[in-house]
Amino acid sequence: MLKLIHELEVHQIELEMQNEELMPVIKLNVKSVLGNGRVSGLSMVMAAPTHRGHTAM
């Protein structure tokens, strides 16, 4: 059980790091689509890459 918890904690950290790396790219993509500097939470989710490498938009 402790090993599983550890693996989940490591995975969470990896996802947080990926999120930090992707956020500037997502903001640029949304800005170019919307034509302004405002980014809503929904827009960021819709523009986020899927597990297959395609965007959800």
Q: Is residue 8 part of a domain?
A: no
How far is 54 from 10, CA to CA, in rounded Å? 25
Q: pTM above the 0.75 mark?
A: no
How far is 43 from 18, CA to CA, in rounded Å? 18
Residue span of the structural domain in which 48 resides:
24-57
Q: Is residue 15 part of a domain?
A: no
pLDDT of 54 higher than 90: no
How far is 48 from 27, CA to CA, in rounded Å? 10
How many structural domains compose the chain?
A: 1
How far is 24 from 13, CA to CA, in rounded Å? 18
- 4-25, pLDDT tens digit by residue? 999 999 999 999 999 999 998 8
